[in-house]
Every structure is written in C-alpha cells, then in structure tokens.
Amino acid sequence: MNNLMRRAQNVQLWRKYCVKQYTTEAASAALSRGKPNYDEFIAGRQVQAQRSIVVQVSSEKSYSELYNYCSRFGSIVGAHHYCVRHDDDLHYILLEYSTAHEAAAAIDSGATNGDLSGVPVRSPFLWFKAAPGKRGPKLAPNNNNNNNIHHPPTSDLQSVDGTRQLDQEALLSQLRGAESIEQQVQLLHRHTQLNDLGVRMRFLAALQVQQAISGMFPAAQAHPFGSSVNGFGKMGCDLDLILRFDGETGGRKQSSGEPPSRLIYHTKENLSNGRSQTQRHMECFGDMLHLFLPGVCHVRRILQARVPIIKYHHEHLNLEVDLSMSNLSGFYMSELLYMFGEIDSRVRPLTFSIRRWAQACGLTNPSPGRWISNFSLTCLVMYFLQQLRQPILPTIGALVKAAEAKDVRVTEDGINCTFGRDLERVGFQSRNTSSLSELLLQFFEFYSQFDFHNRAISLNEGRQLSKPDHSAMYIVNPLEQLLNVSKNVSLEECERLRIEVRNAAWILESEVENSSLPQSERQEETWGLLNLFKHPEKAIIRPNMFFKPRMVEVSDLFEEKHQQLQSTIGPASTGEA
C-alpha cells in the first residue's frame, strides 16, 4: 500500500511538472532570448513543432507554389528545405506558421489520395500533390479573409540541411586552415553540432507520436531527451524519446484557480507488474508505429534491455529514434548535461573534440557493447572539469544544495532527480582561464594517470572514491548512485582507453609546440587536432611519459583476445566443410 501511495505521489509530482503552463508567447520568448533554461528550451521547441508542418515536394523550386498554397491557412514565418537521399533525392520543406492553430488548419485540410493504398493518418507529415495539368495549384477556400496570393522572397527558404553531416573533406580543409588548435576545437564544434533544423525535425518526430495517440491518450506526452536536446548532439545523432501517459490533466487544460474536475476518466486496472506491463504496452505501440505512422520504418523491439526500447527509422526525417516509456531519469540526466554545457562556453567544444577523437580511434562505437558509450565518455569529461584545481564545473552535490521547492522531481519509480535548476542561484563562477587546447591536453594527461583499477568517479561529489566492485571502469550514476554508468566497459576496452589517452597526450604535446610556429613554417598539412583524428591503424603507440603502468600494445590485446578465443572454441575453423 505504501508503495502504491508513493507511486501515486510521484506521478502527481511528474504531472505538476508537465502541467506547468507554458504559453506559446512565454516559450517562444524564452527561446529567442537566447539563454533559455532546460524547461524553457524544451517547451519552446515543442511549441515551435506545433506551429510547423513538413511537406514533401518535387524539388526546392516548388517553394513558391507551396508558399502560395499554404499561406491561406495562416502566416508562414519560416521555411527550411532539406533532402533525404534514397535512390533519388527526396525533397522536403518544413514550414513554420505563426500559431499552432494555423498549422493545425493546414494539417486538417489534408486529403486522402485515392490512388494510394494505406490508412490515412493525421500527422504533420504531408505531401504536396502536383497541380492538375499545367495550371497553378487549385486553391483551397481561404479562411484568412485575405485573398491575396503571397509572393515569398525565395531567399527566405533556408537551405541549411538538418539531415546531412558536413562533407568530411570540407570539414578537414576548414580545420587545416585554422590558425590555432583552439580555433580548430571551436570550428569542429561549430560545424558538427546539431543545427537548428536538426532540432526542429527531432521535436516534430516527437510531436507526431504524441498526436497520433492523443485521441485515446489525451495525457500522452513524447519528450525528446539525450544528445538531441542536451547540447552535446552532433549532426545525425539519434533521437531519444520518452513517451509518458500521465503528463497532463486531460483533454482540456484546467485554468489556474479552477477547482479540479469531479468527472474522472475510467481506466483499466493494471494487470501485471510495472516492467512486464511496460513491455506489453511497448509491444503494442511498436505494432501501431510500424503499421500506421507515416515515415516510420524498420521498427525493432528491444524489450529485454534494462530500459526496454523500440527503435525505428524515420524516412521523412532520415532519423534513428529510440523510444522508451520508463526512463525518466535519462530525461533529467539530459537536463544536468544541458546545465553543464550552459555553465561554461568551453564545455561543449571540448567534449566535441574528445568524442570525435574517441570515435576516430575506435574507442566508441554507435552500437552498444563492451566499449565506453558517448554518455560515459561525456561523464569523464565533466568529472575532469570538476576536479581541476580551479574547477570549471560545480559538483552535482552543489547543484542539489541549491535546490528550491520548485526543483523537486521524483520519478514514478522513486528516483530523486531534485537539483537546483536556476544557475544564478547556484552562483558558480569559474576562475579557470585555461584555453581549450590546454584543457584538451590536461584531459588526456589526467586520464593517462587515472587509477581505473582501484578508483571510482563521482560527479556528485566531484572526487574519486574507492571502487565498490570489480568493474573495469566505475562511474557512479549521478541520479541512481548505487549504479555504475560504465558497467558495460570491459577490462580490455578500459586498457585500450588508457593507451589511447596516453598516445593522445603525447601527440598533442608536440602539436601544441608545433602550433606556435607560423602557419608557413609548419611541416605538415595535417596538424594540431587533425593528428588526433587519424585512423587507429595509423596511430603509433608512444612510450609512456607520465608514469609507468604495464604497457599493453593494441596488437597485444588482439593477440590476447585471439588466444582466449582459441582456448574456448579451439583452433580457428578454415571455413571448409
């Protein structure tokens, strides 16, 4: 009974959070102010998505015609063109109206196409059918009291694609031409971070799921989290989405001061325990997404994982989506990372360079496994910035101390995610004046010497602790402190990380010296940060210059693995029958 009561209380807290009334104006104003807090950022982007539609067109030349046609539903305040590559390029234009009502009017005008099979679904993803013959588009009745056809300035169509990563050659040439390592780090961040259109597309993917089920589940909310919203996402990053059914008070928003309704929705009693019920629901949603939702394809259900997820590809957005229903702490963890990124302007560029380096030397991998995840690697960077003699980031403990009543968040399963959300109240000011290249070198030096064997990392306390178990790498999960974020990392992968940070420190040290030479005197075209991004085969194992742990060559590790394999499965098969 106690458990049930606690659960109900936690649901109330989550509802209170969701119901926090963000008016369109307030959310938009916070976004355009430039430095929104996490709640404002999320709410602002959600409102922006509600004002938007995505229309497939035959090419970007259709913009004028589309603009004229769609202007009758309301005033178009922004337009973005992007391509998704299939056999041919598929062209899309994202239109933003000034209000959500106008976007809804455009969506509601959608017709079914008699020639095509398939169940029509109301969604913000539409197709602009060619006008019959060579005549202009047949205009729908104008509900705007304005019969003028609008002529869009074609230059208003933004063409910064939100689906494609910058061409590698173009990026490398930018980095080669930089004046300093510092500038390389900044350029890498600027050119690879998720752009505005990429963020808009991710919030539209979330809105599509929410709207698709809103008839039956009026309280449902789909919230993006992870790198799509925490400011550490790069172009092409996946979308992590959490779907909740207990977000709002119901179909109608209650105005403040109004007594709560006495008419309560009947519900079905829960038939099984929390986890198996979530798995059953997810199975059902997986089918629904797969069968009905336009653009959703390659649906996979991974329901046995610690956090069960449904993975799918969105073909109109060229986007990979991971949908969960029970990972609220991941949502709040994204808020913590968002805040860290906002506290100091060096945090995100530095993390981008380190993530890129780890990817280049094969330490991280898009699929989960025994290697370090981008999230754990980001935690390593955050901890490094906390433990500096002049810290660049506060500890999570300091954020918790600054919490007020309005910051209380407890997830449905009782995980306390309360911490101070108001950075001014937290009042942290770093006196550290190191440059990005200095910090990058210090990061590699720090982890060259870190005793992963005996020590655990705590971002809550901003210090090392004794390792409570035999995991190869131990990073205390900031929101569930009995868990280890990097439990999946194997001994070999941890060792490889140590070798690679040592190599990187060695390379960067000589690059820092070299970069002080004028550009004309530099020996090589590939210099500075670029030398950290060389392919692993090209990386040389350097003698350790900081301390003397056991040196393991990467080739030794492969040899070791090979021998282990041989001893378990016997000599390698020749493949012959």
Asked whether the beta carbons of 182 and 435 are under 8 A apart, the reply is yes
The per-type count for the chain, helices as H runs and strands as E runs, is 17, 12
Nearer to ligand GTP, 237 or 507 (CB): 237
Site residue total, Mg ion (CB under 5 A): 4
The enclosing H or E element of 531 equals none
- Residue 310 binds: one of ligand GTP, Mg ion, none (C-beta under 5 to 8 A by kind): none
Question: CA 341 to CA 321: how far, in whole Å?
Answer: 23
Q: Which does 318 bind (CB under 5 to 8 A by kind): ligand GTP, Mg ion, none?
A: none
- The whole-angstrom separation of Cα 103 and Cα 107 is 6
Eight-class DSSP state of 236: T
DSSP string spanning 395-421?
Answer: -HHHHHHT--GGG--B-TT--B-----
329 forms part of the interface with ligand GTP (CB under 6 A): yes
Window contacting ligand GTP (CB under 6 A); options: 222-230, 401-409, 465-473, 550-558: 222-230
Contact segment (CB under 6 A) with ligand GTP among 152-160, 310-318, 369-377, 433-441 equals 369-377
DSSP summary character for residue 528: G
Tell me which stretch binds ligand GTP (CB under 6 A): 294-302, 341-349, 373-381, 404-412.
373-381
Find the farthest-apart pair of alpha carbons in the chain and give their distance in angstroms, rounded.
80
Beta carbons of 469 and 486 less than 8 angstroms apart: no
- Please identify which residue in the block is written with the tokens 């977000």: 247
Which of residues 67 and 474 has its CB atom nearest to ligand GTP in the complex? 474
Phi, psi of 414 (to 5 degrees): 85, 10
Smallest distance, Å, CB 115 to ligand GTP? 39
Tokens of 382: 């955050």
> Could you say whether residue 349 binds ligand GTP (CB under 6 A)?
no
Does 334 interact with ligand GTP (rule: CB under 6 A)? yes
CA distance 194 to 408: 30
Question: Which of 279-287, 368-376, 387-395, 529-537 is the region at the interface with ligand GTP (rule: CB under 6 A)?
Answer: 368-376
Under DSSP, the state recorded for 286 is: H
Q: How far is CA 403 from CA 333, 421, 460, in A?
A: 16, 7, 14
Among 40, 60, 96, 240, binds Mg ion (CB under 5 A): 240
Q: How far apart are CA 475 and CA 465, in angstroms?
A: 10
Least distance in angstroms from the C-beta of 415 to ligand GTP: 8
| 3-state SS assignment for residue 234 | strand
Residue 233 lies near ligand GTP (rule: CB under 6 A): yes
Q: Which does 92 bind (CB under 5 to 8 A by kind): ligand GTP, Mg ion, none?
A: none
Among 374, 386, 395, 471, binds ligand GTP (CB under 6 A): 374
Q: Should residue 412 be labelled a site residue for ligand GTP when binding is judged by CB under 6 A? A: no
* Positive or negative: CA dihedral 315, 306, 452, 333: positive
User: In angstroms, rounded to a whole number, what is the distance separating the alpha carbons of residues 396 and 392?
Assistant: 13
Q: How far apart are CA 5 and CA 24, in angstroms?
A: 34
- Give the per-residue contact string, 88-127, with Mg ion (x = CB under 5 A; - = no): ----------------------------------------
Shortest Å distance, C-beta 355 to ligand GTP: 8
Please report whether residue 226 would count as binding ligand GTP according to CB under 6 A.
yes
Please give the Cα distance from 228 to 240 (Å, whole number).
7
| Residue whose C-beta lies closest to Mg ion | 226
Question: In the complex, what is the shortest distance from the CB of residue 321 to ligand GTP, in angstroms, rounded to a whole number?
Answer: 11
Instruction: Record the tokens describing residue 339, joined without a space.
Output: 């805040």
- Position among 39, 196, 238, 248 found at the interface with Mg ion (CB under 5 A): 238
Of 168-227, which residues contact Mg ion (CB under 5 A)?
226-227
Residue 485 binds ligand GTP, judged by CB under 6 A = yes
Closer residue to Mg ion, CB minimum distance, 105 or 282: 282
Q: What is the DSSP string of 200-266?
A: HHHHHHHHHHHHHTTTT-TT-EEEEEGGGTSS--BTT--EEEEEES-SSSSSSPPPTTSPPPS----
Q: In angstroms, what is the minimal distance from the CB of 311 to ligand GTP?
A: 11
Bridge partners of residue 476, in order along the sequence: 484
CA distance 454 to 470: 9
Q: How far apart are the first and last CA of the chain?
A: 63
Of 123-131, 164-172, 224-232, 264-272, the window that binds ligand GTP (rule: CB under 6 A) is: 224-232
Choose the stretch contacting ligand GTP; rule: CB under 6 A; options: 4-12, 132-140, 178-186, 237-245.
237-245
Among 42, 181, 323, 479, binds ligand GTP (CB under 6 A): 479
Integer-rounded Cα Rg, in Å, for the chain is: 26
Interface segment toward ligand GTP; rule CB under 6 A; list 16-24, 97-105, 185-193, 219-227: 219-227
Task: Output the smallest distance, CB 227 to ligand GTP, in A.
Answer: 3
Per CB under 6 A, residues contacting ligand GTP are 225-227, 230, 233, 237-238, 240, 329-330, 333-334, 373-375, 477, 479, 485
Per CB under 5 A, residues contacting Mg ion are 226-227, 238, 240
